[in-house]
Structure 1
């Protein structure tokens, strides 16, 4: 299998997106317990556990924290979710204005829904996104790749 630079960028962007979904690194900075920081570090590396299970474990750690940590962490999550949703909407509007095909718009929606499906592990999410992209014609795939670079 030959991997080009663009594939690596897309792969790393997907992994980075998945890892920051729970803002674990920010939470690690706020947690005072070394045990909790270690558990968060290990959770951040889990690619084969469903993300909803990771979320439950992260939430359990958050519940043990002082209220200022809980409030700040929850604000970070809400801001991240709002930003992600707004960026998705910008992408949809951008694609429509470019006259993108329905296939591209449907693929973007599928990818968005895959990223929201917390029952998937990070590796399952990555595989499903790759499958959606691979189902597109080359020119449509390039349109999606261009979106990710912006």
Structure 2
């Protein structure tokens, strides 16, 4: 075999696998109730063209709605194209309210290996909103009781 023959056969093969070293790793999970276990242990190497890690968080009732159902977080993470991330974020912009008594959904994208370790809000806003609401209701109750005396 001549060196030029080997060059023409193996160079395209080498170049086609060169992108493997430049792939992105993202945490992945689907509709988990917290950012533990699956969402921090599952790591996926993204496909070629997927240049971002997408995180989505939703706040709402359990999947099978029932009267007075408790609301909770649902977290999903995956690989995506940056253009897909921007489209999803734009679509969810109006429903990303963070109001504790309404169902809402938000998304966030980042670029870099395992950059989606943390989730939007870190799960703290709705709990503090509940605390503020509870304090407000208690204050109204106390003030109302004082007025009636």
Same fold (TM over 0.5): no
Higher relative contact order (CA closer than 8 Å, sequence separation 6+): 1
Give the TM-score normalised by structure 1. Answer: 0.29
Identify, as 1 or 2, the structure richer in strand. 2
Higher Cα Rg: structure 1 or 2?
Answer: 2
Give the TM-score normalised by structure 2. Answer: 0.29
